[in-house]
């Protein structure tokens, strides 16, 4: 009797995972639940509702003053740094347009096309994670400039030819991030990141302690990353995967997660002023 009930239970579970379709070829395929699909669907179909939902959940975790809240909602730009005048701003814009016309990716805003081009650096580094001091030991500046010029020109470069050292490529990747007009994690998220870093555990009396609240930090970061522009979010995924794989081989490369954080934090987030 117990065996029969177990069989019936397994049958029900199996039936629940089958795609309902008139095509016989699809009836045996299990349903794949992909939360990213529904997130992106809401983002594209109801962008305002999507932003409100994400921000409301972020404010559940951290307290945001009016200005920072408005920035996160996209209703207000972060404060601009002091400039030497509108003329200099005009020439900077003009120079940027010229660089953009030439297909330059260093110093230009993130795009999916730029991501695809810079990905060859990431792909090469995945093959050389065992190099000691990767991302910490600087490469050769002349070789880096040669590689940088090739990438800016859109020339296909064979990184496996032996012409370049992994340290050259690792340093150039950091250079690419540091030369972005806006940091990978964006200016308007800067103050929110500071508040997330301050999330700590509470004691029995409700007082803050110095113990990091890792769960709340991770939840807040996951929500905040949803608000990143698509190109930034996609590049961040590539970068985090590379750093994760690097830290997994810290016994060889001597680069722990802490060391990598020290190397990359200044290259992915900085205040606008």
Q: Residue 42, class by beta-carbon neighbours within 10 Å (0-12 exposed, 13-18 middle, 19+ buried)? A: middle
The pTM score is 0.73
185 phi and psi, to 5 degrees?
Answer: -90, 5
Backbone angles phi, psi at 4, to 5 degrees: -65, -45
In terms of C-beta density within 10 A (0-12 exposed, 13-18 middle, 19 or more buried), how is residue 146 classed? middle
- Contact (Cβ atoms closer than 8 angstroms) between residue 135 and residue 246: yes
Residue 210: C-alpha distances to residues 91, 163, 199, 258 (Å) = 48, 48, 9, 18
Q: What is the pLDDT along the chain (273 residues), one digit of tens a residue?
A: 555 555 555 554 444 443 444 555 545 555 555 667 787 888 888 888 888 888 888 888 888 777 777 777 766 565 544 433 333 343 344 344 433 444 689 999 999 989 999 999 999 999 999 999 999 999 999 999 999 999 998 887 889 999 999 999 999 999 999 999 999 999 999 999 999 999 988 888 778 888 989 999 999 999 999 999 999 999 999 999 999 999 999 999 999 999 999 999 999 999 887
Domains of the chain: 39-77+187-227 (no CATH), 112-180+229-272 (1.10.555.10)
């Amino acid at each position: 009797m117990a065996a029969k009930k177990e069989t019936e239970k397994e049958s029900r579970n199996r039936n629940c995972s089958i795609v309902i379709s008139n095509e016989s070829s699809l009836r045996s395929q299990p349903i794949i639940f992909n939360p990213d699909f529904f997130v992106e669907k809401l983002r594209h179909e109801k962008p305002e509702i999507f932003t409100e939902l994400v921000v409301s959940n972020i404010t559940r975790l951290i307290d945001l003053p009016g200005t920072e809240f408005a920035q996160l909602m996209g209703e207000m730009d972060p404060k601009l740094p002091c400039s030497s005048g509108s003329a200099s701003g005009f020439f900077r814009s003009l120079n940027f347009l010229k660089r953009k016309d030439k297909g330059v990716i260093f110093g230009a805003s993130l795009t999916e096309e730029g991501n695809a081009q810079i990905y060859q650096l990431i792909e090469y580094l995945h093959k050389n994670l065992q190099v000691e001091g990767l991302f910490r030991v600087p490469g050769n500046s002349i070789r880096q400039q040669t590689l940088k010029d090739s990438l800016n020109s859109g020339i296909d470069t064979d990184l496996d030819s032996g012409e370049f050292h992994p340290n050259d490529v690792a340093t150039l990747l950091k250079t690419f991030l540091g030369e972005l007009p806006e940091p990978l994690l964006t200016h308007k998220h800067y103050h929110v990141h500071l508040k997330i870093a301050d999330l700590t555990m509470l004691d029995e009396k409700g007082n803050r302690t110095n113990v990091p609240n890792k769960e709340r930090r991770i939840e807040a970061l996951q929500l905040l990353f949803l608000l990143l522009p698509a190109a930034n979010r996609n590049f961040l995924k590539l970068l985090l995967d590379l750093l994760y794989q690097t830290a997994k081989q810290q016994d060889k490369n001597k680069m722990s997660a802490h060391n990598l954080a020290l190397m990359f934090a200044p290259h992915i987030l900085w205040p606008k002023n």
